[in-house]
Structure 1
Amino acid sequence: MRPMKLIPRRSGGSTAHAKDASDAASTRGPARVGRRTKDLTKRLAVGDVAVIDHIDIDRVAADALVAARPVAVLNAARSTSGRYPNAGPSILLEAGVILVDDLGPAVMDLREGAAVTIDGGRVVVDGQTVAEGVRQTEATVEASLAAAREGLSTEIERFAENTMSYLRRERDLLLDGVGVPNVRTVFEGRHVLIVVRGYHYREDLAILRPYILDNRPVLIGVDGGADAILDAGYKLDMIVGDMDSVSDQALASGAEIVVHAYRDGNAPGLERVRALGVEPVVFPATGTSEDIAMLLADDKGAELIVAVGTHATLVEFLDKGRAGMASTFLTRLRVGGKLVDAKGVSRLYRTRISNTQLALLSLAGVAAVVAALWSTNVGQTFFGLVAARFDDLVSGIGRLFGG
């Protein structure tokens, strides 16, 4: 392999000389192996080495990895394949996480907890090189993204073809609501908040707290979004999805469960729900679980649908890596009159109140109370007594020091 510059772990105020020193050092940590990145992140600890097989690391996966604070990520696949300009690798490097790419399937055979040494692009265990790949830097990632941008037109054409194919298959569902199951949750005339575990979903859900308390919307969690609702302290009304990333706690919370099935009736998550003693509603449909959540709320008479963490842009659709994401585009057209996309609201609205402003606000409040008291006879008597007590205190201190 040709030598390349290694990416250092970033720290505030680091100099070029310090970075070069960091480049020369190898990195060690215990291996945590998982073929599904979203499952692996739940058991990662600070300082671990995450071993994944994830082509085109997307933003959601990268954010989850960064939150777990591993020392490095070893990817059996290519973190950017060139299909589209994905943001995941840049997020990892920006957070100071070492990323070694294209290590091949052998790296997935690492023993759980094995002491791994990362030396450049080599993965070493017990002094033996078990895999070798490309250690990514800002320069290599940017080069990959530039190449991916050039081929994006192909993905746009494929997306358009998938959209038309979905419309032909699901026109009855989209246009007339044929196939929408009956549910016990009441939607008629109510607001509905749908939470998907997407970009900035935690921050957006926190910002929407006043809206939730004032309007009491129907709260729907799409797979892992159900846990986000519970973590925020709210009561779930419904869970929609294939049940691959939602916790048993959420499934047993008493919320109505709608299992997303394939068109042929096969529902991979059905047995898991039934094993918990819950009989779910089954909704066979092509597309994504967030789509059927929106279609269900719309068909049952929801007045307003507020979406958090859902997918809205082309890159977000491609991040999902599924042709079925074309359904999201048409679903949004179908429910567009009711849909309010709250994704990213946390970046739009941030309260910025300085300590000085808080102090001035407090002083203004105290001044208003004093003025109100002074305008009454009782208040004037009170301030007269306080002034007399203060004079006594000052006189006593004077006599003490004077004596």
Structure 2
Amino acid sequence: MSPSLAGTARLGKRTKDLTKRLQPGDIAVIDHEDIDRVAAEALVERQPAAVLNVAASTSGRYPNAGPRILVDAGIVLVDGLGPAVFEEVRDGEQLTIAGHEVLLEDRPIAAGTRQDDATVTASLEIAREGLSEQLELFAQNTMEYMLRERDLLLDGIGAPDVATRMDGRPVLIVVRGYHYKEDLATLKPFLRENRPIIIGVDGGADAVLEAGFHPDMIIGDMDSVSDRALRGGSELVVHAYRDGRAPGMERLAALGIEDGAIAFPASGTSEDIAMLLADEKGASVIVAVGTHGTLEEFLDKGRAGMSSTFLTRLRIGSKLVDAKGVSRLYRQRISTFQLVLLALAGLAALAVALWATPGGQALVQILGARLDGVLSWFTMLFSPRVTGA
């Protein structure tokens, strides 16, 4: 029987919004089918005591990484609790988890599956059997997106005019995704020396600010970026639906900063249109931070539209560079130890050159006499004084 634990309930059906309110030791109550890696890592960073999921943390559609990350971090994960938990529990109430049951004031309100290493492993094995079906859907969505956005993909038709000039400049696109903090840390020398145009994709704008830089442009549906970032003076490009509806404009209007904001109607994800816009506006190179680059990452995102990212990367080609590749190329090749040895070798060579000339020998003798004087003075400071009788 697993030991019980108690904590303050924090409810949120959108995991990325909930993580902003979580405190260490809280119990996160979420509704997130197939918890992906980014969501799991965000939860682990906030250090909750437990995560209660009203949905299935692994539905079996594909082997998602989230449950494994939570369990390996020592966070209690109970899923499949059912939507009634959101009706029974209020934010801030005290919950107790006893085994696979959830109690409110000692009254059981829901029961689910308490995940551990064995159950997560079994769920992932079952999910791998569904990969072929997911690949078929991925291929189908890829074809649909290619037909729907062929003008944008092939000729850049539909990309809006923007004030930020990118022609011939390197562009850094930051998404709050996989290992974005580590990537930004390795890119700081590149940023200082090359001064690229920085585009933050939704919450990626906050990641840029946290790293000590300022985004030139923010692109997205504006649902996960802070007010501080939006008010920072960056050019704002709102990702809109193909029919022109742009819910993000409503938030900008509420903040009084909708003037000058530009709508970009397009299918796919916000990171896709950020890459396509940078490419269309003549960026010399596009460096991606936190974006999705592998099939596992596409599937782990859990969106049918992720196939658009696959096509976008094909469209941009070699101009697109992953941040991890840049860090490997830009890594310092000379160690500190080697630099010290080089400096000592230079000093030794200088000393030999000086000793080989009469003037150098005289200089060395003068410096030696001065050094002897300093050492004598320093020795006298600590020698015992002789006092008279």
- Give the TM-score normalised by the residue count of structure 1: 0.87
CA deviations on 1:23-81 (whole Å, 9 max, x unpaired) are 64211110000000000000100100000000000000000000000000000000000
Q: 1:257 to 1:41 in 2, by over 3 A?
A: same
- Whether 2:369 is the aligned partner of 1:381: answer no
How far apart are the structure 1 equivalents of 2:168 and 2:326?
A: 24
Distance in 2, matches of 1:254 and 1:142, equals: 47
| 1:221 pairs with 2:200 | yes
Cα distance in 2 between the residues matched to 1:29 and 1:149: 34
CA–CA separation in structure 1 for the residues paired with 2:210 and 2:383 = 60
Question: Cα 1:154–1:255, aligned 2, differ >3 Å: closer, same or farther?
Answer: same
The alpha-carbon distance between structure 1 residues 390 and 100, as it changes in their structure 2 partners (threshold 3 A), is same
In structure 1, C-alpha distance between the alignment counterparts of 2:265 and 2:19, rounded to whole Å: 30
Q: Which moved more, 1:336-345 or 1:305-314?
A: 336-345
Name the counterpart of 1:99: 77
Letter paired with 2:227 = D
The answer to whether the Cα contact below 8 Å between 1:120 and 1:135 also exists between their aligned partners in 2 is: yes
Instruction: Say if 1:203 and 1:346, in contact at 8 Å, map to a contact too.
Output: no
The aligned residue for residue 357 of structure 2 is none
The SS at the match of 2:318 is coil
What amino acid maps onto 1:201 in structure 2?
Answer: Y
Identity rate, percent: 62
Structure 2: any 5+ residue segments left out of the alignment? 355-359
1:231 aligned residue (183, 190, 210): 210
**Secondary structure at 1:253's aligned position in 2?**
coil
Aligned residues: 378
Q: CA–CA distance in 2 between the matches of 1:180 and 1:169?
A: 15
Trace 1:270-309 onto structure 2 (pairs within 5 A): 270-278=249-257, 279=259, 280-309=261-290
Match of 1:18 in 2: none
Does residue 299 of structure 2 align to residue 321 of structure 1? no
Contact persistence 2:33–2:56 (CA under 8 A): yes
Per the alignment, in what secondary structure is the counterpart of residue 184 of structure 2?
helix
Residue deviations 1:304-345 (CA, integer Å, cap 9, x gap)? 111111111122112222211111111111111311111476
Q: Structure 1's 382 and 260: CA in aligned 2 closer, same or farther, altered over 3 A? A: same
1:200–1:344 contact (8 Å) kept in structure 2? no
Q: CA deviation at 1:271?
A: 1.1
SS at match of 2:161: coil
Matched with 1:338 is 319
Question: Which amino acid counterpart does residue 128 of structure 1 have in structure 2?
Answer: R
Indicate conservation of the 8 Å contact 1:199/1:344, yes or no: no
Which amino acid in 2 is paired with 1:175? Answer: L
CA distance change for structure 1 residues 351 and 77 in 2, over 3 Å: closer, same or farther? Answer: farther
Once residues 95 and 377 of structure 2 are traced to their aligned partners in structure 1, the CA distance between those partners, rounded to angstroms, is 75
Aligned twin of 1:17: none
Residues 347 and 118 from structure 1, CA distance in 2 versus in 1: closer, same or farther, beyond 3 angstroms?
farther
* Equivalent of 2:31 in 53, 58, 70: 53
Instruction: Check the 8 A contact 2:36/2:302 in 1, yes or no.
Output: no
Alpha-carbon distance between aligned partners in 2 of 1:369 and 1:24, rounded to the nearest angstrom: 66
* Rounded Cα–Cα distance in structure 2 between residues aligned with 1:384 and 1:28: 75
AA partner of residue 269 (structure 1): G
- 1:396 to partner: Cα distance: 6.9
1:124 corresponds to which letter in structure 2?
Answer: L
Structure 2 contact 44–70 (Cα < 8 Å) conserved: yes
